[in-house]
């Protein structure tokens, strides 16, 4: 294993907040149970809690400060964010992930960094998170299916992480992969998509200050069904670009092919920017239903993040590069 800083790092500095200070008692206790039993599944199975044992002992969010770009729109209900998920690795129904994601073991967790960079290697989650200060960012999320949410994520800019790996001049794109393990992810027993789930960004998109590596939401570590322990959040693109439970990061010269591009090349492009003017071949993208609202609302160009991202696509035909 590589250790980026060359020494052992802990996110939580001793003497600061204890875990029980930032975590409700039930979760705190559940974590203890989970550690005692040593079986990740037990905690969730016994309590039936939605906050399944994503809580690895290694992650404690520590101080979370408010980050930039947050919207002041009403946040989506926490319960809805935790029970209405597209995470096909745990089943195709929206309610499947909340039911089955407790099978995924997120501690220990490591990420392979490979390809065109000076510091490839296998990094533990602790290594990955160590130097980064956590921020809360309240972002809109627009699903390609026509619904949306407002989610208070906790994380840090992907750019800061990428810089540590020192990508070279050939690194034009960055590709991500989700965990592939049929035992932990029962949905992978069927080839609905070409597993493991893959996604990618152009380097400038990855380095954009909006792009977030998330490890938590609503003030706590990510529940498994929301992509624990480490996921991408790219708020100006359709939700499926924000890949969950990341185990691999690859820097490459050529544009990667994502799992959805493979499943439907006519329907899902590499960019997949939220765009009300480019319909999905089978349905319109002009409007969306914000979860919790009755009437639909208009979908905004780049999901309302034009100011931050439009320049990256200047001169591109977004109908062609959908």
Interface residues toward other proteins, by CB under 8 A = 77, 79-80, 83-84, 88, 92, 94-95, 145, 147, 190, 192-193, 263-264, 279, 282-284, 286, 289, 291-292, 294-296
| Residue 298 beta carbon to other proteins: minimum distance, rounded to whole angstroms | 12
3 state DSSP class of 293? coil
- Taking the least distance from each CB to other proteins, the nearer of 60 and 242 is 242
CB of 191 to other proteins, least distance (A): 10
Q: Is the dihedral of CA 252, 254, 255, 257 positive or negative?
A: negative
Q: How far is the CB of 306 from other proteins (least distance, A)?
A: 23
- Taken in order 149, 260, 188, 233, the sign of the CA dihedral is negative
**Which of these, 159, 171, 178, 54, lies nearest to 112 by C-alpha position?**
178
Instruction: Report CA-CA distances (Å) from 85 to 96, 229, 272, 291.
Output: 8, 16, 19, 12
| Of 123 and 238, CB closest to other proteins | 238
CB of 282 to other proteins, least distance (A): 6
In the bound complex, what is the minimum distance in angstroms from residue 152's beta carbon to other proteins?
Answer: 16
C-beta closer to other proteins: residue 45 or 192: 192
Neighbours of 179 (CB within 10 A): 20
Tokens of 169: 């001049």
Residues 175, 200: contact at Cβ < 8 Å? yes
Nearer to other proteins, 92 or 311 (CB): 92
34 or 153, CB closer to other proteins? 153
The answer to whether 69 and 84 have CB atoms below 8 angstroms apart is no
Token pair listed for 199: 């996604």
User: What's the min distance (Å) between Cβ of 274 and other proteins?
Assistant: 17
Which residue number, 2 or 283, has a Cβ lying nearer to other proteins? 283
């Amino acid at each position: 294993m590589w250790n980026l800083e060359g020494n052992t790092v802990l996110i939580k500095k001793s003497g600061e907040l204890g875990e029980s200070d930032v975590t409700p008692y039930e979760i705190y206790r559940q974590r203890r149970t989970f550690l005692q039993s040593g079986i990740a599944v037990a905690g969730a199975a016994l309590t039936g809690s939605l906050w399944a044992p994503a809580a690895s002992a290694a992650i404690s969010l520590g101080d979370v400060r408010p980050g930039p770009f947050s919207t002041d729109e009403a946040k989506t209900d926490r319960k809805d964010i935790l029970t209405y998920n597209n995470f096909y690795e745990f089943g195709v129904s929206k309610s499947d992930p909340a039911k089955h994601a407790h099978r995924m073991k997120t501690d220990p967790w490591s990420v392979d960094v490979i390809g065109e960079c000076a510091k490839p290697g296998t990094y533990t989650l602790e290594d990955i998170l160590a130097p980064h200060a956590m921020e809360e960012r309240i972002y809109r999320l627009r699903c390609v299916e026509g619904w949306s949410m407002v989610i208070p994520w906790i994380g840090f800019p992907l750019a800061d992480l990428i810089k540590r790996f020192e990508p070279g001049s050939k690194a034009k794109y960055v590709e991500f992969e989700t965990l592939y393990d049929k035992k932990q992810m029962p949905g992978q027993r069927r080839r609905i998509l070409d597993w493991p789930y893959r996604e990618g960004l152009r380097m400038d998109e990855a380095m954009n200050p909006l792009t977030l590596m998330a490890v938590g939401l609503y003030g706590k570590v990510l529940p498994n069904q929301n992509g624990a322990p480490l996921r991408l959040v790219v708020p100006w693109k359709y939700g499926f670009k924000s890949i969950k439970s990341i185990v691999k990061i690859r820097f490459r010269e050529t544009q990667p092919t994502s799992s959805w591009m493979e499943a439907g090349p006519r329907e899902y492009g590499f960019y997949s920017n939220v765009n009300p003017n480019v319909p999905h071949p089978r349905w319109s993208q002009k409007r969306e239903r914000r979860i919790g609202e009755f009437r639909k609302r208009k979908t905004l160009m780049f999901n309302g993040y034009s100011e931050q991202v439009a320049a990256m696509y200047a001169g591109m035909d977004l109908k062609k590069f959908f």
